[in-house]
Amino acid sequence: MSDLKQLRDNLSSIRVLYAEDEQEVRDQTLLFFNKLFSNVDTAQNGEEGLELFKKNKYNLVITDLKMPKMDGREMLSKIREINEDTVLIVMTASDSNMDATETVCDAYLYKPISFTDFVEALTPLQERILKQ
Amino acid sequence: MYKFIMQSIRVKIILLLFIGIAIISTLFSIYQYNEQEEHLTYMLENSADRKIKRLSKNLLIPLWEIDSGWVLDIVDTEMMDRELYAVMITGDANLNINKKRNNGWESITFDEDIKGKYIKRTSSIVRDHEEIGKVSIYVTSKFLDEELHKKALEYSFINLFVIIFLIVFLYVILNRIILQPIHNILKTVKAVTDGDYSQKVHLTQYDELGKLSDGFNNMMQSVQDKEDMVIAQSRHAAMGEMISMIAHQWRQPITAIAMGANNILLDIELDDLKPEPAKAGALTIIEQTKHLSKTIDDFKNFFRPNKKVEQVLVNDILEENFKIIGKSLENNNIAIKKVYTSEVQTALYSRELLQVLINIVKNAKEALLEHKVQDAMITVTTKDDNKNIYISICNNGVSIDLKIIKKIFDPYFSTKSEKSGTGLGLYMSKTIIEKHLHGTIEAKNIESGGVCFNMTIPINGVNDE
């Protein structure tokens, strides 16, 4: 899988924001992201995520939708207002009643995800991510 | 008094019997009295006829002889009959003998006219076609009347006994064929009204009352069947809801398990597999599967059949409820506030109470979500006094329309969208609380917004049947 290694090498220097309210899921997913990206920040809800986004510059935002205080959808649309080009990926439960078509994002993944899904979603977005 | 009569069919029947029999026996007495009177009058007239005949025959010779002493003798003899009130005899040579009774009923001489109600007979005394005298007698009905009255009194006494006997006899019969069965049916109706649907009317008669009791039994059976059906339906609905709650419970562990596996796989793909992280990933997976397993136990516990009463602490059942529905509340950012002050155990069907609690908390959750309430919170409170245990489950959402709040416990009534509401949840809750746990349940709006469901459960609990 030289594809995967290629991807890791290409994206290792980008800055990623990851928002997820469930601690167990966040911890495990952070481990996963850290294997691919060297610089990942986490937020526990939309509000925290938006604050971090305002402070720092991110190439990629990955978020859950259902979160307390501010949900993922609201956070994403606010992020879009600030920066039109940031790549946004949603990772949410399949029974979430939030409709994918109503959400501002570049890729939509259903939990539980497999790493191949993630890689397949990420690959076509590489160039855009790196432009940031 | 009026109320007393109107409220008892027994009193009504006794009164009716008394009035009916009294009227019949009075009419019968009057008829009897008249018959007697007629008969006695006839006898009296007969005897007057006989007397006048005898007198005129006996007086023939004394009058012919004009022997007033003899005539007097005959009159005195006749006057020994006390029915005879007066005798008047006229004859030739101014023979005039008039005798009548005084107040002491002694025979005295008199010369005025006789007035009053007497049977009068007059006869001419004739010899050789020549009238030699005239005799009149006055017969009184006084003694016969006395006898008649005495007899009437006797009859009245006998009548009275017959009336009493008839009333008792008819009452006993009516009691057997009407009152007792009605009482029987009434007792069952009362038991059923009090919530004991297992009661049946036991009547072995084939008349209207028998049919009525059969009809009642059939009706109760169909009511019970219908209730069983509703219970089954609501159980199905509850199972559907359980599955959605399990989904909430499982979402996080399943995602964590998948990530754990992804981490190991990614290390393999990146040629970076080291024992320590791989071991940590595998341990995470095992840890999370335990969580899944525990969820199944919690839910299995909800579905375990519960036909026996158990000694339980209401707080424990509330905690069981949160084990099942708590995750779903947490996922929807609804805070839970618990104020447990009740510390008495009571005997009840714990699974049924659990079903009610889950149902009410679930309704609160749905109401809070539907109205997108800020800082949504569900508050549960328990307390007790020496009679009841009080459970209240309140939400800080939106109050229920007063027109609707009366109907929310009706079967098939739902304000939720077609899909999610069966309209059975609260009806079942009310049935369980009132019929099975002998408690009460009511919904009340809170002034600051939101609704409280207040339940009371008797502290002395439920008897095992």
Mean pLDDT for chain B?
85
Whether the predicted pLDDT of B327 surpasses 80: yes
Distance from CA of A122 to the nearest CA of B (A): 15
Q: Compute the average pLDDT of residues A101-128.
A: 87
Q: What is the rounded distance in angstroms from the CA atom of residue B58 to the CA atom of residue B115?
A: 26
Instruction: Looking at the complex, report in whole angstroms how far the Cα of residue B187 sits from the nearest Cα belonging to chain A.
Output: 55
CA angle B54, B59, B64 (to 5 degrees): 150
Is B119:B138 a contact under the CB 8 Å cutoff? yes
What is the third-level CATH fold of B2-145?
Answer: Beta-Lactamase (3.30.450)
Give the class (CATH, top level) of B227-304: mainly alpha
Mean pLDDT in residue range B113-133: 85
Q: Which CATH number among 2.40.50.140, 3.40.50.2300, 3.40.50.10170, 3.20.20.70 corresponds to the domain A2-131?
A: 3.40.50.2300
Sheet holding B95-101, edge to edge: B107-109, B95-101, B84-91, B130-139, B119-127
Q: Are A111 and B251 in contact (CB under 8 A)?
A: yes
Percent of chain B whose predicted confidence (pLDDT) is above 90 = 19
For the ranges B104-118, B144-158, B180-194, B349-363, the maximum mean pLDDT occurs at B349-363
Cis peptide bond N-terminal to A112, omega within 30: yes
Which of B58-62, B194-198, B361-365 is predicted least confidently?
B194-198
Average pLDDT, integer, range B44-66: 88
Taking an 8 Å cut-off on Cβ atoms, the answer to whether B288 and A24 are in contact is yes
Q: How many other CB atoms are found less than 10 A from the CB of residue B343?
A: 12
How far, in Å, are B332, B365, B450 from residue B371 at the CA level? 13, 10, 11
Q: What is the mean pLDDT of residues B359-374?
A: 89
* Domain limits, CATH 1.10.287.130, in chain B: 227-304
Give the one of A28, A35, A111 whose C-beta lies nearest to B267's C-beta. Answer: A35
pLDDT, greater one: B443 or B128: B443
Residue B5 reports pLDDT greater than 70? no
Burial of B218 (0-12, 13-18, 19+ CB in 10 A): exposed
pLDDT confidence of B389, banded at 50, 70, 90? Answer: very high
- Alpha-carbon distance of A79 to B76, in angstroms, equals 150
Residue B181 has pLDDT above 90, yes or no: no
| Segment A47-60 mean pLDDT | 93
pLDDT of A98 strictly over 60:
no
pLDDT at position B417 is 60
Spell out which residues of chain B touch residue A45, defining contact as CB-CB under 8 Å: none
Mean pLDDT over B357-377 rounds to 90
Q: For the residues A96-124, what does the mean pLDDT come to?
A: 81
| Mean pLDDT computed over B103-120 | 81
For residue B417, give the 3-state DSSP assignment: coil
Burial of B456 per CB tally in 10 Å (0-12, 13-18, 19+): buried
In CATH, the number for domain B306-465 is: 3.30.565.10
Q: Higher pLDDT residue, B358 or B204?
A: B358
Q: What tokens appear for B286 in the block?
A: 């095992």
pLDDT of A51 reads 94
At residue A36, does pLDDT exceed 60?
A: yes
CA B155/CA B159 separation, integer angstroms: 6
Mean pLDDT of B205-214: 85
A109 three-class SS: strand
The pLDDT of residue B82 is: 83
Give B298's pLDDT tier (boundaries 50, 70, 90): confident
Share of chain B above pLDDT 70, in %: 95
pLDDT at B416: 67
Which amino acid type is present at position A90? Answer: V
- Cross-chain residue pair A24–B252, CB shorter than 8 Å: yes
Mutate to test the interface with B, among A6, A7, A12, A25 (most CBs of B within 10 A): A25
CB contact under 8 A, B259 and A66: no
Does residue B282 surpass a pLDDT of 90?
yes
Q: Where are the domains of chain A?
A: 2-131
Which residues of chain B lie closer than 8 angstroms to A8, CB-CB?
A: 270
Structure tokens at B369: 């979500």
Per-residue pLDDT band for A5 (boundaries 50, 70, 90) equals: confident
